[in-house]
Amino acid sequence: MKIKPHIALYTLLALVGYACTSGIVTDSHLTREEAVYSNQPPGVMASVQEKLAVVDVRYYGFDGRIHQGQIVIHEALAADILQIFDVILQTRFPVESVLPIAHPLIQRKGPYGLSSDTNNTSGYAWRPVTGCKQLSMHALGLAVDINPRQNPYISGALILPPRAMYEPSAPGTLTADSPVVRAFKQLRWEWGGDWKERRVDYMHFQKVPPGWEQWTGLYRKESLSKMSAQK
């Protein structure tokens, strides 16, 4: 399998940083092959996977220590993720964990790691929109969820993760004036915390990179079941 030069560069930079770092808690150091291609549900499109990059990020955990994790994201958004996690690190915004959906710890949560009962920060996950058949922005690597338990999805009586509570003053919680939210918005990401009609999704950020509108639309106009059948 041919690896694109810029994707290989992200991997090389991650390996160099890993080798030169001491005192960092390494939560994830999967290879791109493991993070993108292993433990995937049926119907995953290779044409989507080939556009994904694995980005190593650092952040303060709730234990007060610096951790290193990984986010799988569309290659066109990798630079954004590095900028945003620099803000997360510099402001000491606590993050529970940042593990790819293919990571063994996440896989234990449910089939193919697709469980709503988690507090893991992640990007790519091949799945539909919650409550719909349309392909999620996560399935295209165009969305990130941060600290789901502090920043739940709320639609009427449905709260995900189960039993989660939104307390704006609690550590790790995203609010409109949070430096993390502002950093995303400065890079033209949409925040689910601004959604007020029918649902609100405080954990969720999404962005269609400039020039990728048609590519995104082609995948999202079909239901997940139809796309799997066409594969």
Q: What are the domain boundaries of the chain?
A: 5-230
Give the mean model confidence (pLDDT) for residues 193-201. Answer: 92
Judged against a pLDDT cut of 80, whether residue 216 lies above it is answered with yes
Judged against a pLDDT cut of 80, whether residue 195 lies above it is answered with yes
Judged against a pLDDT cut of 90, whether residue 141 lies above it is answered with yes
Give the mean model confidence (pLDDT) for residues 48-64. Answer: 98
Q: Phi/psi of residue 78, each to 5°? A: -60, -40
Determine the pLDDT at residue 58: 98
Determine the pLDDT at residue 17: 46
Instruction: Please give the distance of CA 32 from its chain centroid, rounded to a whole number.
Output: 15
- pLDDT tens track for 16-50: 444 345 599 999 999 999 999 999 998 899 999 99
Judged against a pLDDT cut of 80, whether residue 5 lies above it is answered with no
Judged against a pLDDT cut of 60, whether residue 152 lies above it is answered with yes
Determine the pLDDT at residue 14: 47
pLDDT band per the 50, 70, 90 thresholds, residue 228: very low
End-to-end CA distance of the chain: 19
| Percent of the chain whose pLDDT exceeds 90 | 74
- pLDDT, averaged across the chain: 88
On whether the CB atoms of residues 78 and 55 are closer than 8 A, the answer is: yes
Give the mean model confidence (pLDDT) for residues 112-118. Answer: 81
Give the helix, strand, coil percentages of the chain, each rounded to 5. Answer: 35, 20, 45
